[in-house]
Amino acid sequence: PEGKPPAYPLRLPFSPSPLPYPPPPDPGAAPCSPCPQKKEQQEAIEHIDEVQNEIDRLNEQASVEILKVEQKYNKLRQPFFQKRSELIVKIPNLGVTTFVNHPQVSALGEEDEEALHYLTRVEVTEFEDIKSGYKIDFYFDENPYFENKVLSKEFHLNESGDPSSKSTEIKWKSGKDLTKRSSQTQNASRKRQHEEPESCFTWFTDHSDAGANELGEVIKDDIWPNTLQYYLVPDMDDEEEEENDNNEEEKGLEDIDEEGGEDKGEEDEDDDEGEEGEEDEGEDD
């Protein structure tokens, strides 16, 4: 009948969605207090910073005291370095052998190696405050390559920590400049698709990257304090020859054993044939 509601409730085609953002805060409300956990973390960071400052202060103090100890023992070591230098000059080719045996310096060209045969000794002098730099002196006998008796290179650090270097000008004899030959050889080697080692003497004229001068650090920190160690490194060629000799001896012994086995086999065959012949003769009788 008319006016009677339907048996099921009416449904809207869609339901209204909630607001996409929360309502703005009430300007009259009291501000939120900081999270207790964040406050605790902030206090911990501040305390860590205070402790770190104390650690840095102690590190600076240690650096000063270590520097004093290094200066003291540098002076105490000098007489022994001097005595060692006097003994080194009595051993021919000790300098070049030491460089050739060091894994970071061994890639020398043939002419560089020939020139280094005239090297009599190397000396390293650290400056008074140590941190400001050091000097390396190379002493040479009379040689066909250059006029200098001593070639030196110095490394400096200024107050701001910027590195610099300076060195002796090498007075090359006519036609003997190994640095020029090195550049010519490298240009030619590019055509042959292989790289020739750069002359070690270019190190004296290269001041472009004093902060990353690995050769100077290797000489100061490794070769200079451990000269005898690198001089006495066994020659790899000698070791290979000895190993080859041992292998040949072992091979010779194996060959002898094999020949002996073959001879014994032949003798056994002869014995067997002899026994068979005797048996045949007995049957004929």
Query: Hey, which of 12-26, 42-56, 99-113 has the most confident mean pLDDT?
Result: 42-56
Domain carrying residue 122: 68-176+206-230
CA–CA separation, 139 and 116 (whole Å) = 10
**In this predicted structure, what is the pLDDT of residue 190?**
47
Tell me, yes or no, whether 54 lies in a domain: no
For position 150, which CATH number holds?
Answer: 3.30.1120.90
**In this predicted structure, what is the pLDDT of residue 158?**
80
When pLDDT is cut at 50, 70 and 90, the band that residue 257 belongs to is low
pLDDT tens per residue across span 40-80: 899 999 999 999 999 999 999 998 899 899 889 989 999 99
Tell me, yes or no, whether 34 lies in a domain: no
| Number of CB atoms found within 10 A of residue 28's CB | 5
CA–CA separation, 71 and 30 (whole Å) = 66
Tell me, yes or no, whether 193 lies in a domain: no
User: CA 241 from chain center: how many Å?
Assistant: 28
Tell me, yes or no, whether 20 lies in a domain: no
pLDDT tens per residue across span 168-202: 999 999 999 999 875 555 454 444 444 556 888 99
Could you tell me the CA-to-CA distances from 75 to 66, 85, 125, 129 in Å, in that order? Answer: 14, 16, 11, 12
**In this predicted structure, what is the pLDDT of residue 142?**
96
**In this predicted structure, what is the pLDDT of residue 112?**
93
Instruction: Name which residue leads in pLDDT, 244 or 188.
Output: 244
**In this predicted structure, what is the pLDDT of residue 221?**
92
Tell me, yes or no, whether 82 lies in a domain: yes
**In this predicted structure, what is the pLDDT of residue 175?**
92
**What domain count does the chain have?**
1
CA–CA separation, 178 and 172 (whole Å) = 8
Say whether 21 sits in a helix, a strand or coil: coil
> Rounded mean pLDDT of the chain?
78
The arrangement of strands across the sheet holding 119-126 comes to 119-126, 133-140, 150-157, 163-167
Tell me, yes or no, whether 242 lies in a domain: no
pLDDT tens per residue across span 136-164: 999 999 999 999 999 999 998 887 778 88
Tell me, yes or no, whether 107 lies in a domain: yes
Tell me, yes or no, whether 151 lies in a domain: yes
Q: Is the pLDDT of residue 28 over 90?
A: no
Please give the model's pTM, rounded to 2 decimal places: 0.63
